[in-house]
Amino acid sequence: MNMAKITASVYTSHVPAIGAALDLGKSGEPYWQPLFKGYDFSKQWLKDNQPDVIFLVYNDHATAFSLEMIPTFAIGCADSFTPADEGWGPRPVPVVQGHPELAAHIAQSVIQQDFDLTIVNKMDVDHGLTVPLSLMCGQPQAWPCPVIPFAVNVVQYPVPSGRRCFELGKAIRKAIESFDKPLKVQIWGTGGMSHQLQGPRAGLINKEFDNAFLDQLIADPEGLASKPHIDYVREAGSEGIELVMWLIARGAMADVAGGPAPKVAHRFYHVPASNTAVGHLILENK
């Protein structure tokens, strides 16, 4: 069959300081070395498992959107997306090329599966999207393939539940695998892990929570999807809620639709990076 296929899912934090470390040539410094070392495998893996398109689930941090407009789920259907100026000028990274044809197909299919998506035809992309690309690709002249940005509101309450994100992942899988071109598609879930950037608990990191989350994401995503918001906030900090985006990518994997369990190609955890815990996982569909 000449249909598109989800070949793998990638999960990673998107700490902005990681982007700054790369852009300012500091990735070899002792503080950063152990973090970037955890992604050496991943960079080679991405070269060996080159996708045709990356469907990248991330959150905008009041960059493209603001309190004036807060879409819960937004799909980027443009030809290209410019790295955003988040206050220090845009990151010196390549412009992100989109895949309007596949994005429009996914929008059609997922909306018909009763999820309300906001269609975005012009959008700058912030560290939520560019830092995962940098971690996985290094510093290339151009990103290795087109990317469909999929922005989730995890910044301003009310935010979507883990359950809804997981169900959305299932719908995205159906959408992608009903596209009649033989594209290899990876789905990336980004953000997290435990972190809190404000208030008396700023700097909170919870290794036990994070590692239990990784275990359950691999082995029991359905069970993990029922974790309520309040548990994320209590245990992983106010910004730990970014982790619900990982459930979108996990919900799109083959085993959730009755296929074989994924292969854990890589797992990495490191603290701290800036104020946060960094988690990373690569799951391959067999």
Q: d(Cα 52, Cα 131) in Å, to the nearest integer?
A: 20
- Note whether 238 binds ligand DHB by CB under 6 A: no
User: Restricting to residues 4-23, which ones interact with ligand DHB according to CB under 6 A?
Assistant: 14-17
Give the residue with the Cβ less far from ligand DHB, 89 or 260.
Answer: 89
Question: How big is the site for ligand DHB, counted in residues (CB under 6 A)?
Answer: 13
Q: Is 271 in the site for ligand DHB (CB under 6 A)?
A: no
Active site residues: 127, 195
Residue 210 contacts ligand DHB per CB under 6 A: no
Given its phi and psi angles, is residue 248 left (phi above 0), alpha (psi -120 to 50 degrees) or beta?
alpha
By CB under 6 A, what part of segment 56-95 binds ligand DHB?
Answer: 61
Among 195, 227, 250, 280, binds ligand DHB (CB under 6 A): 195
- Taking CB under 6 A as the rule, which mask of x and - marks residues 155-194 in contact with ligand DHB? ------------------------------------x---
Please give the residue whose beta carbon sits closest to ligand DHB in the complex.
Answer: 274
Q: Which residues contact 29 (CB under 8 A, 6 or more apart)?
A: 21
Q: Where are the alpha helices (DSSP H) in the chain?
A: 16-23, 33-37, 40-48, 100-112, 127-137, 162-176, 207-219, 221-224, 229-236, 244-251
Q: Which is nearer to ligand DHB, 173 or 280 (CB)?
A: 280
Among 89-97, 101-109, 245-253, 273-281, which window interacts with ligand DHB (CB under 6 A)?
273-281
> What minimum distance in Å lies between the beta carbon of 129 and ligand DHB?
11
The β-bridge partners of 266 are: 282
**Residue 274 interacts with ligand DHB (CB under 6 A): yes or no:** yes
Query: Looking at the DSSP assignment, which residues form a beta bridge with residue 69?
Result: 66
Q: Is 280 in the site for ligand DHB (CB under 6 A)?
A: no
Q: Which stretch binds ligand DHB (CB under 6 A): 159-167, 248-256, 260-268, 270-278?
A: 270-278
Q: How far apart are CA 193 and CA 13, in angstroms?
A: 6
CA dist 54 and 12 (Å) reads 14
Distance CA 3, CA 102 (A): 12
Q: ∠150-114-247 over CA atoms, to 5°?
A: 45
Q: Name the residue nearer to ligand DHB (CB basis): 58 or 115.
A: 58
Residues 55, 244: Cα–Cα separation, whole Å: 16
Judged by the rule CB under 6 A, the positions of this chain that interact with ligand DHB are: 14-17, 61, 191, 195, 197, 239, 242, 274-276
